[in-house]
Amino acid sequence: MTWQVSSWCLSYPDDQFIDRSSLLRRALCEQPDHPSTRELLTFVDHIESTPLPTLVDDYVDTFDLSRKHTLYLSYWTDGDTRRRGAALGEFKALYRSSGFVVDLHGELPDHLPIVLEFAARVDADAGQEMLEKYRPALELIRFALRDRRSPYTAVLTAICSTLPGESPVDRQAARAMTPALGVEAVGLEPYDSRLLPLTATPARGEP
């Protein structure tokens, strides 16, 4: 339940997103008490108390206009390097091997909401294995959102609480969980600008 609800919470906010909040609350309230449930209920409170235009602006500013909080998992571990092509291929192979048609919604296969939905609805074991593999990325996103004082921190905290072991206490410890990020921008073939999610678009208000 945590993975499915988290996937919905990390989706682009629209009218359906708002309408779904009451369903999310009921589903969460039916779950046993767990840190992930409490964190997600906190985020649902935020949804229900915030106007939709504000939610949209915050989502865009946080995930679309800033490279500091990207939800593309392999960026955090492989950067814009040749290794990232292999990482993206691993996600695609996982989805193909499941025997289900996984709708990428126009995103790259390592987009966190897609990975969460796969884990929740298609293959929990394979999905959890992938989430554990990218635990460093999840923790780094969590710290980045916390530093921003973003309501989305609660969602990442909920996700991390479902994985084995304690979360790292700080960003340095989270970085120690993963190899150093590469710096070689190579432009994988065929070129796809979504492979560079942390570049290009200026922040709102910037020239």
Q: Is the per-residue pLDDT at 161 higher than 50?
A: yes
Return the pLDDT at 195.
38
Return the pLDDT at 179.
55
81 dihedral zone (left: phi>0; alpha: psi -120 to 50; beta)? beta
Is there a contact between 146 and 86 (Cβ–Cβ < 8 Å)? Answer: no
Rounded to two decimals, what is the model's pTM?
Answer: 0.80
Question: Which residue, 126, 149, 128, is CA-closest to 138?
Answer: 128
Q: Is the per-residue pLDDT at 49 higher than 50?
A: yes
In single-letter form, the type of residue at position 99 comes to: G
Q: How many CA atoms lie within 13 A of 4 on its CB side?
A: 13
For residue 6, the tally of other CB atoms under 10 A from its CB is 26
> DSSP per residue over the chain, as a string?
-HHHHHHHHTSPP-HHHHHTHHHHHHHHHTSPP-HHHHHHHHHHHHHHHS-HHHHHHHHIIIIIS-GGG--BHHHHHH-SSHHHHHHHHHHHHHHHHTTS----TTS-TTBHHHHHHHHHHT-HHHHHHHHHHTHHHHHHHHHHHHHHT-TTHHHHHHHHHTSSSPPPSSHHHHHTTSPPPP-----PSSP-GGG-TTSSPPPTT--
Report the percentage of the chain scoring pLDDT > 70. 85
What is the C-alpha to C-alpha distance for residues 71 and 9, in angstroms, rounded to an integer? 13
1-177 under CATH 3.30.70, yes or no: no
Tokens encoding 159: 């996700």
Is there a contact between 63 and 70 (Cβ–Cβ < 8 Å)? Answer: yes
For residue range 83-99, what is the model confidence (pLDDT) as tens digits?
Answer: 888 889 999 999 988 88
